[in-house]
Amino acid sequence: MSRILITGSSKGLGRATALELARRGHEVIATARKVETLADLPVAQRLELDVTNDASVQRAVKQAGRVDVLINNAAEIVVAPLESTPFEEVRHLYETNVFGALRMIQGFTPAMRERGSGTVVNISSVVGRVSLPLTGIYSSTKWALEALSEALRLELGHFGVRVVVVEPGQIGTGALDAPRAYFGKNDPYLPLRESRRFGPREEMTPPETIARIIADAVEAPEQRFRWPAGPDAEALLAARAKLDDPAFDTALRSAIKLQW
């Protein structure tokens, strides 16, 4: 069994993934900014970790010891038009979703490279391949993570280290119940916001389902790079692959019921 470190393990997909991998017998290192939120997780080790902080990441590298699998899951989302998203928020999302993952990669992969084995799993999103209105900044962080992953796959693959990208669709974790949003009282994008209302959790893919796909990706013997996760992700990415831009635009508007 592998020794696996997961970022953002306190709730949602990170917690579900920690539980699934522990259930399968792996030695899980769960991490979160507030380590007390991990107290009830049946895992091998719990660490305080803030992926936006260099010193915190370096402490985690020392405390974790050998890590066979790194799962970069920690991420945040914001809903707003691009023209009015505060730059402070843009920087925060990149600091967490992109630079945080890169800090972890730089912290943990040198040992994997030296051993000639290991796996990096980057949790991207379907919007890392298909950008949607009002989540453009979040989408761009996932596109960036996809780009880093593609380069990393070739760089580390030479040394026997696997790189995997998991691309979920909408996950019923509650993250989309009340995301941080930026709209004025008479904002011209309010009609778009109404059109882009997220459905109830019950209509989204349960985090436990995505966690099983992540665990399967960790355990898979084949060198498969991308893992779409959830029926909505599979359908949308399949359409993106076979349709030209005008046809895909029509299909996308229909799929997300976009009246705009």
Segment holding 69, helix H or strand E: strand 69-72
Can you say whether residue 153 is alpha, beta or left, with left for phi > 0 and alpha for psi between -120 and 50 degrees? Answer: alpha
Catalytic-labelled residue, pool 138, 139, 140, 189: 138
Clarify whether 257 is annotated catalytic: no
* Active-site entry in 9, 124, 140, 149: 124
Determine the residue type at 4.
Answer: I
| CB neighbour list of residue 123: distance below 8 Å, 6 or more residues apart | 13, 71, 72, 73, 75, 166, 168, 214
Active site residue 138: yes
Burial class of 34 by CB neighbour count within 10 A (0 to 12, 13 to 18, 19+): exposed
Q: Which one is catalytic: 9, 125, 142, 189?
A: 142
> Is 142 a known active-site residue?
yes
Q: Kind and range of the H or E element at 32?
A: strand 27-32
Active site residues: 124, 138, 142
